[in-house]
Amino acid sequence: MKTEIAYLMKIPDSIISKIHLKIFKEKNSLNTFIFHGLFKNEEEKSLNTVDPQPWITIDQFEEFIEYHLKHDYKFVSPDDIINGLNKDNKYIMITFDDGYYNNIHALPILKKYKIPATFFISTKHIQENKCFWWDILYRERTKQKTPVKEIVKERDFLKSKTNQEIEEHLKKIFGKNILKPTNDINRPFTVSELKEFSKEKNVFIGNHTADHAILTNYSADEISLQIINAQKSLYEITGIKPIAISYPDGRYSDDIIKISKESGLKIGVTVEYRKNSIPLDFDANDKCMLLGRFDISGNVNIIRQCELFRSGILLYSRFGKILKER
């Protein structure tokens, strides 16, 4: 029942956002967006080798960029944010989480439009050449014809575990070699590929922990190791010391923010649906360590989603949060 009610809230969101943009002047802000993987086409999506929900196609990615350029948005990097954003402009920061090899498909588009994007890397997946656990779960359960609702339920349960516990769980159920990638769609970058990719001027590298660790499941010492080890590995691979972190699954705490800052990180991105007002104050309540971020679904019209996030009319998001708290 809760899901059905929340779904209905998407309808007024779409309608109201169109009206709002016609009547009111859009407020200047920094809008940050999260992407994960890029499908070459719909055929790749149908292979079911990854969880397709947070993915889009290359064409959809380009459509997203063209829309925001048309509406006078400037695309920025973490360095730009640190250097200060002019309050008279509107900004977009593109981010990719995890470290999928297929993120390389974004590069020709970034070069074409001369814009930056930030890629948050889970370093052990790169170093050990292993799949991300949620893709394994989706792929194997789909083979077993498990209903999507049940897969989501199991995925949400596993999010309460450490990455080591999750991987042991998957090995026990599906076999000891289950972490091995099966194709270029579900594999991460290799170390050498990431090294070359990071040299591109349109590419900025960020910290996504060593194990894609949902940090709220870890002790303070373990949190520190996850963040610091990722910083060290990324510097060894790329020669870059990241200044931005994406908290896996968007989960954070005061301790996580404190440890991130102590590790040299100056920007943190969440998965909280909201625009970020500018100018950004780096000293006010860790505001820059808690940037809001929107995601784009490949299953919904791209332009409609862009209009929604531009307007800031997010009844569905706010109502969904209320439902979760009950």
- Domain ranges across the chain: 2-9+28-127+189-325, 131-180
Q: How far apart are CA 139 and CA 157, in angstroms?
A: 17
Cis upstream peptide for 78 (omega within 30°): no
Residues 214-226, buried b or exposed e (16+ Cβ, 10 A)?
Answer: bbbbbeeeebbbb
For 2-9+28-127+189-325, the fitting CATH number among 1.10.1200.10, 3.30.1300.10, 3.20.20.370, 3.40.50.720 is 3.20.20.370
54 and 71 in contact (C-beta within 8 Å)? no
Provide the pairing of β-strand 90-98 with 73-75.
parallel
pLDDT at 12: 58
- Smallest Cα–Cα separation from 213: which of 230, 190, 188? 230
Question: Within 10 A of 16 (CB to CB), how many other CB atoms are there?
Answer: 15
229 and 210 in contact (C-beta within 8 Å)? yes
Crossing angle, helix 10-23 and helix 315-325, to 10 degrees? 140
* Residue corresponding to tokens 């870059």: 240
Give DSSP secondary structure letters for 205-217.
EEE--SS---GGG
Crossing angle, helix 10-23 and helix 302-311, to 10 degrees? 60
Q: How far apart are CA 127 and CA 94, in angstroms?
A: 24
Q: How far apart are CA 275 and CA 82, in angstroms?
A: 17
Q: How far apart are CA 207 and CA 213, in angstroms?
A: 11
321 pLDDT tier (thresholds 50, 70, 90): very low
pLDDT at 6: 42
Q: How far apart are CA 23 and CA 20, in angstroms?
A: 5
35 and 94 in contact (C-beta within 8 Å)? yes
pLDDT at 307: 87
* 3-state DSSP assignment of residue 1: coil
Crossing angle, helix 133-143 and helix 163-174, to 10 degrees? 20
- Smallest Cα–Cα separation from 120: which of 175, 16, 198? 198
pTM exceeds 0.85:
yes
- Give the pLDDT confidence of 96-129 residue by residue, as tens digits: 999 999 999 999 999 999 999 999 999 999 999 9
Higher pLDDT, 312 or 72: 72
Structure tokens at 262: 């102590």
- Give the pLDDT confidence of 228-279 residue by residue, as tens digits: 999 999 999 999 999 999 999 999 999 999 999 999 999 999 999 999 999 8
Residues 63-83 have a mean pLDDT of 96
pLDDT at 151: 96
Structure tokens at 206: 């960020």
- Smallest Cα–Cα separation from 18: which of 300, 248, 309? 309
Q: How many Cα atoms occupy the beta-carbon half-sphere of 293 within 13 Å? A: 25
